[in-house]
Structure 1
């Protein structure tokens, strides 16, 4: 579903991503971990075409996207949904209008069709009956769930999550983790999740990749990552766990 080949990204004289290579299979959940500034969010933006690499290629379902026009990218993005770190909801719109925004903008559906889809997606994220609420009436965890409902409105084949449990308490974070797993099972989506939370990473991941100073220094199953002999990986895992106590 996703293939990244020899990708480099620069911001002025800073080498943000250095020769990144990996693949994500259909229906797989890849979790990307790493410290602040390691390039995790930049990688997500490259995958959805918000940024372009200076070198290398990015394939989404066998289509190379790094040289595409915006019009071509828009067609690719219809196959993808993104859950942003801070939810990125429109404060002036109701929950229902937020979830249905993309359907109105890109689809040719009747209002009744959109309403039915919105209700269905809100039910999937356990927010049935909240369509008329405004974002400022919701908790942080509820906003994340609205963001997820909006991301799955088009029934995408790929979901990208940028720090989905950031700023949430442990109980709410666990609910978000359960929803990520549920989306994989119910929709068969391929997911990439960026997180600092190792408990979350080990729970939701089929494989985990670690970025360190812009390089991908490890990739493997949760068990393989736990058994890593790379001190940089072990330090990140151990410090993350200690900070949870």
Structure 2
């Protein structure tokens, strides 16, 4: 479904991603982990065409998208949904209008059909009946769920998530995890989830990829990552760092 081939990305001469080769298979959930600034969110933006690689190829199914004009990229994106880290809802629109936005812009659905789809997607994220509410009336977790409902309104084949549980309490974070799993099972979508939450990654992912200083250093199933012998992987997933050896100093007690 997604194939990155020899992808490099630089900003102002600074290397963000180096020689990334990655496949995401149809129907799987791939979690991308790594420290802040490692390049994992940049990967996500390359996949949806919000950024272009400095070199290399980005394939969505059978189309290489890195050099496509915006009008053609928009057609590809109709088959993709994205849940942004901060939800990115339109503050001036109701919940219902937020979920319906893409349907109104890109389909010829009747008002009745759009309303039906909105109700179905809100039910899927367990917010049925919230159509008339405004985003500023919602909690952070509810906004994330509305963002997911909007992302799947087209029933896309691919859904990308950027830190979906960031800033949420543990109970709501677990709820978002369940929705990601449920969405994959109900709609059969291919999911890519950028996260630093290892509990989340272990729960939702079929495979986990780790980015370290712009390089893809590991990709394996959950058990493989848990048992990795790479010190960088082990330190990240366990939240530990190698103890610093302090320099011995001689103290003159005379």
What TM-score do the two structures reach when normalised by structure 2? 0.94
Report how far residue 127 of structure 1 moved.
Answer: 0.2
Distance between the aligned counterparts of 1:110 and 1:147, measured in 2? 22
Report how far residue 218 of structure 1 moved.
Answer: 0.3
Distance between the aligned counterparts of 1:92 and 1:2, measured in 2? 34
Report how far residue 161 of structure 1 moved.
Answer: 0.1
What TM-score do the two structures reach when normalised by structure 1? 0.97
CA RMSD of aligned residues (A): 0.7
Is residue 33 of structure 1 aligned with residue 33 of structure 2?
Answer: yes
Q: Gaps spanning 5+ residues in structure 1: where?
A: 241-245
Is residue 53 of structure 1 aligned with residue 83 of structure 2?
Answer: no
**Structure 2 matches for 1:1-245, cutoff 5 A?**
1-239=1-239
Secondary structure of the corresponding residue to residue 217 of structure 1 = strand
Deviations 1:154-192 (A, max 9, x none): 000000000000000000000000000001100000000
Distance between the aligned counterparts of 1:124 and 1:201, measured in 2? 21
Deviations 1:61-107 (A, max 9, x none): 11110111101100000000000000000011000000000111111
Distance between the aligned counterparts of 1:63 and 1:13, measured in 2? 28
Report how far residue 54 of structure 1 moved.
Answer: 1.0
Distance between the aligned counterparts of 2:105 and 2:12, measured in 1? 34
Deviations 1:192-222 (A, max 9, x none): 0000100000000000000000000000001
Distance between the aligned counterparts of 1:25 and 1:40, measured in 2? 18
Distance between the aligned counterparts of 1:237 and 1:66, measured in 2? 32
- How many equivalent residue pairs? 240
Report how far residue 233 of structure 1 moved.
Answer: 0.3
Secondary structure of the corresponding residue to residue 239 of structure 2 = helix
Distance between the aligned counterparts of 1:62 and 1:229, measured in 2? 35
Report how far residue 13 of structure 1 moved.
Answer: 1.1
Report how far residue 112 of structure 1 moved.
Answer: 1.1
Distance between the aligned counterparts of 1:150 and 1:172, measured in 2? 19
Distance between the aligned counterparts of 1:122 and 1:7, measured in 2? 37
Distance between the aligned counterparts of 2:18 and 2:178, measured in 1? 33
Distance between the aligned counterparts of 1:13 and 1:26, measured in 2? 35
